[in-house]
Chain A
Amino acid sequence: MNELAQAIPYFGSRNPRVARGIVLALMLLAPLLAGMIGNTWIRVLDAALLYVMLALGLNLVVGFAGLLDLGYIAFYAVGAYTWGFLASPHMGVHLPFWIVLPAGAGLAAMAGILLGFPVLRLRGDYLAIVTLGFGEIVRIFMGNLNVTNGPQGINMLDSLNIFGWDVSRNIQITESFQINALTSFYYVFLLFVVGSVIVMRRLQISRIGRGWAAIRDDELAAKAIGINTRNMKLLAFAMGATFGGVSGGLFGSFQGFVSPESFTLLESIAVLTMVVFGGMGNLGGVIVGAVALSLLPEVLRYIALPIQQAIFGKVLLDPEVLRMLLLSLAMIFMMLIRPAGLLPANARYSREELVKGLKEKQA
């Protein structure tokens, strides 16, 4: 949160307390503000939070440990399908969330290790293509096995029920005032996101996090100073996958329907883009990237259509086309202007920072 606060122009560095207050207020009030325009926007925010969790998990693998993973969405799929198996009429089991979510996370972690083992020796771009392949293999299996109901997917997933509180029900407070289910989902997801951020934060500055940073910057040197690179890499895959698994489970409960088409390569790329766009390695940046890129299409749709109508009298570009156009241009120019992302990692342990420090010393 500090990073987010600091990111606010001017305010952030001068008056951190106010900045933090603003961020906190925005986080808490967002669904209420969005609700004033329409529930649609709360739904969009809910989806954005799921992407935030995904991006945080991927950031752990790519940003912290420097392992390029192009098949991250597979773990999301594992989490979502676990929810489908353990809490839906598909298998006839309806387990509570405190069993299903950890199960999904655990299975995802196992999948992470499964992927991790064979690719330990691979570096850089070889790793990218093998992880990409892994993502595709998982999707193809999900789309063809009988247990997963093939391309039809699993429907009627139980919604999140926290000790008797069904999150997907509206809460009627008085006759005219009710808390929308979507709003409840928002706060539940927010809790998960905040929890993840805290865990990530602790991880980053722990011995493990520093080990990852060392491997990311120079694997050989890391090995030489006694870091068990094999275990550390496996741990990174497993932990990253865990976050993917949890958000997958939440996605399943929220959407109520899982099918293989939600877990395509494009989704993996979308999440990676969020991470890099926001600022790899920087939690605040990753959150900003995920929120910005998941809100963009909806905002565009609201703004672009009326503007085109007003100017040209007809719709020249579909919102979908326009979204793709802007997204691709943003990806290209963003990298040209700020190759390290919107909010670059405060490079406490990164090589660039050290090099810069040395150069300054010499000068």
Chain B
Amino acid sequence: MMKKKLIAVAALALSGSLSAGLAQADDLVVKIGHAGPLTGNIAHLGKDNENGARLALEEYQAKGVTIGGKKVKFELISEDDQGDPKTGNIVAQRLVDAGVKGVVGHLNSGVSIPASRIYNQAGIVMVSPSSTNPTLTQQGFPFVFRTMSNDIQQGTVLGKFATAKLGKKVAIIDDRTAYGQGLADEVEKGVKATGGAVSSREFTTNQSTDFMAILTKVKSQNPDVVVYTGMDAQGGPMLKQMRQLGIAAKFMTGDGGCTLDFIKLAGDAMNDKAYCSQAGLPLDQLTDKTFRERYKKRFGIEVQVYAPYAYDAASAIVEAMKAANSVEPAKYQPFLKKVAFKGAGGNVAFDDKGDVKAGAITVYQFRAGKWEALK
């Protein structure tokens, strides 16, 4: 691998000198990085993001992009961060070493936050398509952006929906991860803002399987709705145990539970009293109507979840490069702040912090064996 890289570098250098000698404008090779978990239990989501970014770059390439008078050739360098913060840092460093001009990634907030520091220090633009933790863009890093609405937006919608549509008395349980706790705090604010009451706030961990004790306590307060902010692996069994304890309240969870696995794990406890919310548009309502077709044609598989936002992230980087007429992050970063275009998953434009403006949130209800988008 190392050797190959060296040869590639040598070849590049050689071709560079040759073209200089001939004084002829050659293609400008622009490396764009992607980082996400390509192995492990959410490898399919990581691959989905990679495909989204790849599709965008290939389409720009086919259309032809000229920057600084040179025709641009995009090269996507994809790295596997395993969804682990430590590996994420190393991978980020590797992308910096490889001289990428922009990064689409990472997938998990827990990985994106520490990695963003490395990109920002190196002066490389990072656009995350799926990290929703608010902290990511609150660090004051000018080179960090995201194309997905964050947990503040999602939590508020979740909390307001729960009180407005499901019932005034809400119990909130979180899994004590950065994601779960952050989302739960926003849900609580959302509930209170719509005149609801939080009957109890309970806690578990992302490794627990037994929730009987906290659910018994929740039950003693008779809530109308139980909101769980965490992953499907806990959410599914939790819903099951709720029904075992005879709790008839409605159940709602965030994007961590909006999955097929959740439905499987909850088993016969699933009914139309289960809801979930997810940042982004439902796949059959994307703003770019032909996106799913193009994606399927290119990769032979269906879009999973976040590919449209990875597509938008890569597009935003290229659009900013075009506007700045430069591929250097320092030059195009100010233009990235000003981009405004219609992407695959909504209108792409960033606010001061680098968050996408007007990101969409969709609420789903369990109906006839699957999650179905409401309204």
Contacts and interface: CB of A to CB of B under 8 A. Distances in A.
A152 B135 contact: yes
Interface string A246-273: 0000000001110101100000000000
Contact of A257 (B82, B97, B117): B117
B245 interface: no
Contact of B40 (A257, A259, A318): A318
B1 A152 contact: no
B94 A38 contact: yes
Interface in B76-120: 80, 82, 84-86, 89-90, 93-94, 96-97, 110, 113-114, 117
Interface in A192-247: none
Contacts of A298: 90
B182 interface: yes
Given A38-B94, A40-B97, A156-B139, A151 B176 contact: yes
Contacts of A261: 85, 110, 177
Contacts of B80: 319
B1 A306 contact: yes
Interface in A300-328: 302, 305-306, 315, 318-321
B39 A320 contact: yes
Contacts of A319: 39, 80, 82
B2 interface: yes
A102 interface: no
B180 interface: yes
The interface size bin for chain B is: 20 to 34
A204 B84 CA distance: 38
Contacts of B181: 150-152
B96 to A, nearest CB: 7
Interface string B191-215: 0000000000001000000000000
A274 B85 CA distance: 21
Nearest to A152: B178
Contacts of A43: 89-90, 93
B306 to A, nearest CB: 21
A161 interface: no
A38 B40 contact: no
A172 B285 CA distance: 52
A213 to B, nearest CB: 36
A201 B259 CA distance: 56
A165 to B, nearest CB: 17
Most buried by B among A152, A182, A319: A152
Interface string B1-40: 1100000000000000000000000000000000000011
Given A155-B135, A320-B40, A38 B178 contact: no
Interface in A135-170: 143-144, 150-153, 155-156, 168
Contacts of B96: 39
Interface string A84-116: 000000000000000000000000000000000
Contacts of B177: 151, 261
A25 interface: no
B7 to A, nearest CB: 14
The interface size bin for chain A is: 20 to 34
A17 B118 CA distance: 41
A318 B89 contact: no
B94 A151 contact: no
B178 A151 contact: yes
Interface in B126-141: 135, 139-140
Nearest to A144: B176
A37 interface: yes
B contacts with A: majority SS: helix
A305 B80 CA distance: 11
Nearest to A43: B93
Interface string B290-319: 000000000000000000000000000000
A320 B177 CA distance: 22
B374 to A, nearest CB: 30
A76 B182 CA distance: 25
A262 B147 CA distance: 28
A38 B5 CA distance: 11
Contacts of A38: 93-94, 97
Nearest to B1: A306
Contacts of A151: 176-178, 180-181
Contact of A256 (B2, B40, B114, B180): B114
B182 A152 contact: yes
Nearest to A150: B181
A44 interface: yes
A150 B176 contact: yes
A83 to B, nearest CB: 15
A44 B114 contact: no
A228 to B, nearest CB: 41
Nearest to B89: A43
Given A152-B182, A306-B1, A257 B90 contact: no
B113 to A, nearest CB: 7
Contacts of A321: 39
A233 B126 CA distance: 50
A320 B203 CA distance: 30
Contacts of B84: 320
29 contacts: A37-B2, A38-B93, A39-B96, A39-B97, A40-B97, A44-B90, A150-B176, A151-B177, A151-B178, A151-B180, A152-B135, A152-B178, A152-B181, A152-B182, A155-B139, A156-B140, A182-B93, A256-B117, A257-B117, A259-B110, A261-B85, A262-B85, A305-B1, A306-B1, A318-B39, A319-B39, A319-B80, A320-B39, A320-B82
Q: 4 closest A-B pairs (Cβ-Cβ)?
A: A318-B39, A38-B97, A306-B1, A40-B94
Interface of B: 1-2, 39-40, 80, 82, 84-86, 89-90, 93-94, 96-97, 110, 113-114, 117, 121, 135, 139-140, 176-178, 180-182, 203
